[in-house]
Amino acid sequence: MSKKVVLVTGGSSGIGRSIGNFLSDRGYAVYGTTRDLQKNKNFKDFELLELDVRKTETIDAALKLLLQKEGKLDILINNAGIGITGAVEETPNEAIQNAFETNFIGPLNMMKATMPILRSQQQGRIIN
């Protein structure tokens, strides 16, 4: 039986990295995502793909690479997210927009891009 292929957004750090390590240790083929591969050039836990959930062109490129390597995608874990701290009246609108695009639009972009793949395989899971 072939390994299950998992894509974890925000997989280069924090909870996403822990999820990736957990699944990798259990035999899954794990691909994490990062907005900056160069910043993570020494990352060795599992394979990282450059992907920004706000930018559909990076999503398409990463999925194309994953499918070339594995031939399938079994599980998408929408984990990427950012937080804002501080007084709301002092928070720049750009920071609010960035958080909204990452935390809300990002998972939608990922689902829109992966659903056709999962449907064509007649199987798969998305975890939000």
Would you state the pLDDT for residue 41? 78
Give 52-99 as a 3 state SS string: CCCCHHHHHHHHHHHHHHHCCCCEEECCCCCCCCCCHHHCCHHHHHHH
Q: Give per-residue pLDDT as tens, 73-82.
A: 999 999 999 9
Q: Which residue range forms the structural domain that includes residue 116?
A: 5-127
Would you state the pLDDT for residue 46? 82
CA distance 51 to 66: 12
Q: What is the mean pLDDT of residues 87-109?
A: 97
CATH code, domain with 18: 3.40.50.720
Report the domain count for the chain.
1
Q: Give per-residue pLDDT as tens, 100-116.
A: 999 999 999 999 999 99
Please state, rounded to an integer, the average pLDDT across all residues of the chain: 95
Would you state the pLDDT for residue 1? 66
The pair of three-digit structure tokens given for residue 103, joined into one six-digit string? 């935390």
pLDDT reading at 92 higher than 80: yes
